Chains A and B, each alone.
Chain A
């Protein structure tokens, strides 16, 4: 505590209001935040380094695991860069399928966000409703790709699975249902006084600051910045599809909510167009195992904003450098600005409103034995054994259960 009456409060890295580890140091005067600083990196897993030691195909699956929500965004951004270097022209049908999965992913991500936002403001009914509806799109993703997350649909030169007539019919049915539900949420979002009052004027980011701080995605668009990679730098099938870039001039959390809700409607529209215009033909072209020397920068409009991948190839089957700049790293820097002069109680929703994803952002978990101070990295296997022993010490033993399960399957 200082003489001025300012109090410094650490917030995180583990905190009930945060969904992932990140740490803020807030300076409070009374209930108001006067200054803040953010420390991230708790989820750093060294994926960029790991990519240099693996083949392009292995990297594709590794990169897809950067994030459990926008996994398709990362794998598409990466694969596009590799295809550009190798000079591969992806078949049209494959581009459309990639776009389809991309939009389905946006729907699931935005619905997920809406639920989290509801939860952060104490409106848990909204969380229950939206997450129930989100299951509809998760089922569609699982139907088309075989997976709920980490879809594994991309490969270098196209996609791995085609879509069937039945899958198209199911998807269209699901989109109709989700559209109805989203209309209802828009109605709630625009009419329900408690939502409007709770979110309006909270977490202000002026258009000028949005540009100056490099905000991306719905965070920037809710500050009136009309920036969307799908329009500005079209990739996959977006150049052939008709859609609107949603912006809002409220510059606050409420604006960010409206932008995401309206973007859902655009996504339904896009999915219908894709399925109607889906060209016939092959879904993949043969890709070389060794990628010729070269470099490319690929951009992708992930649900949270621009995802940028830089790949440099050296003529071998492994890349020389893979760089990932996920949207949250661009947006997190705007959070301090949004928190300025706001109440402590606004902190969770302001942070949630950029829809942060720190798995994406931090990309090496290094666990060290703090007691021995010998700075040795503890291997995964040892950690696993230690955790089993720790639970045994507490009287919980899963080894019998594991054996039973193993015998059953």
Chain B
């Protein structure tokens, strides 16, 4: 099975990924990694395993931390969901636009909606909130309630 091979190959290459890879169903792999290891894993996935495109980036408020999932796909078929957790008190990421140009808008969503700083993002318009959106308001954080602002 292709998914099984991907799992074995990743575990062989990165011993810290042992027990961190779950094949949820055909064509769906979930991988948990540490933020420090993110780029070496992505680099390998892109250059050696053919995960050339990013389908989406999901950011979420997990209480004490933020979870960020990089949904990478291979030839449109297998979707590898690479998850990291970043501390909430200093949420910082490095951009992956060096690998995936299309990640630009997805990363801007993390900046606007969760208040995660993305280092290395090219200058450009914000997305998706309006230009006059008040500073320090991040609607996708769990403590942000619409009723507090109406």
Inter-chain contacts of A280 with B (CB < 8 A):
none
Cβ A296 vs Cβ B106 within 8 A: no
From A295, which residue of chain B is reached at the shortest CB distance?
A: B30
- Which listed residue (B76, B102, B146) contacts A49, Cβ 8 A? B146
**With A214-B101, A297-B71: A228-B127 Cβ-Cβ less than 8 Å:** no
Instruction: Select the stretch in B1-9, B33-41, B132-140 that faces chain A.
Output: B132-140
Cβ A379 vs Cβ B129 within 8 A: no
The complex places the Cα of A271 from the Cα of B37 at a distance, in Å, of 47
Cβ B58 vs Cβ A214 within 8 A: no
**With A325-B106, A377-B149: A214-B100 Cβ-Cβ less than 8 Å:** yes
From A329, which residue of chain B is reached at the shortest CB distance?
A: B105
Cβ B53 vs Cβ A211 within 8 A: yes
Inter-chain contacts of B75 with A (CB < 8 A):
227, 232
| A-B pairs under 8 A by CB, number | 101
Inter-chain contacts of B13 with A (CB < 8 A):
none
Instruction: Select the stretch in A163-171, A197-205, A281-289, A305-313 that faces chain B.
Output: A305-313
From B55, which residue of chain A is reached at the shortest CB distance?
A: A308
Instruction: Select the stretch in A39-47, A60-68, A121-129, A145-153 that faces chain B.
Output: A39-47
**With A228-B76, A233-B77, A323-B56: A296-B125 Cβ-Cβ less than 8 Å:** no
**With A232-B77, A375-B134, A377-B150: A40-B128 Cβ-Cβ less than 8 Å:** yes
Instruction: Select the stretch in A182-190, A246-254, A342-350, A361-369 that faces chain B.
Output: A361-369
**With A297-B28, A299-B79: A41-B58 Cβ-Cβ less than 8 Å:** no
B95 within 8 A of A: no
> What is the CB-to-nearest-CB distance from A143 to chain B, in angstroms, rounded to a whole number?
34
Cβ B128 vs Cβ A368 within 8 A: no
Q: For this complex, into which size category does the number of interface residues on chain A fall?
A: 35 or more
Cβ B54 vs Cβ A214 within 8 A: yes
Cβ A40 vs Cβ B127 within 8 A: yes
Q: In chain B, residues 15-68, which have Cβ atoms closer than 8 Å to a Cβ of chain A? A: 24-25, 27-28, 30, 52-56, 58, 60
Q: In chain B, residues 58-113, which have Cβ atoms closer than 8 Å to a Cβ of chain A? A: 58, 60, 69, 71, 75-77, 79, 81, 100-102, 104-106, 113
From A25, which residue of chain B is reached at the shortest CB distance?
A: B125
Contact mask for chain A residues 228-261; partner B; CB cutoff 8 A; 1 contact, 0 none: 1100110000000000000000000000000000
From B124, which residue of chain A is reached at the shortest CB distance?
A: A37
Inter-chain contacts of B55 with A (CB < 8 A):
214, 299, 306, 308, 325, 330
**With A39-B125, A84-B25, A366-B130: A308-B71 Cβ-Cβ less than 8 Å:** yes
> What is the CB-to-nearest-CB distance from B8 to chain A, in angstroms, rounded to a whole number?
22
A321 within 8 A of B: yes
Inter-chain contacts of B69 with A (CB < 8 A):
310
Cβ B76 vs Cβ A233 within 8 A: yes
Q: In chain A, residues 106-135, which have Cβ atoms closer than 8 Å to a Cβ of chain B? A: none
From A45, which residue of chain B is reached at the shortest CB distance?
A: B128
Cβ A213 vs Cβ B129 within 8 A: no
Using CB atoms and an 8 Å cutoff, list the residues of chain B in contact with chain A.
24-25, 27-28, 30, 52-56, 58, 60, 69, 71, 75-77, 79, 81, 100-102, 104-106, 113, 124-130, 132-134, 139-140, 144, 146, 149-150
* 22 pairs, CB–CB < 8 Å, chain A vs chain B: A37-B124, A40-B105, A49-B144, A49-B146, A214-B54, A214-B55, A227-B75, A233-B27, A306-B76, A308-B55, A308-B56, A308-B71, A310-B58, A320-B60, A321-B58, A323-B56, A323-B58, A323-B60, A325-B106, A364-B129, A375-B132, A377-B150
Q: A48-B140, A310-B56 are in contact. List 18 more A-B contacts (CB 8 A).
A: A40-B128, A44-B128, A49-B144, A211-B53, A227-B75, A232-B75, A233-B27, A295-B30, A296-B28, A297-B81, A308-B56, A312-B60, A321-B58, A323-B60, A325-B56, A333-B104, A366-B133, A377-B149
Kindly list the 5 A-B residue pairs having the minimum CB-CB distance in the complex, ordered from nearest: A214-B102, A325-B56, A41-B128, A232-B76, A227-B76
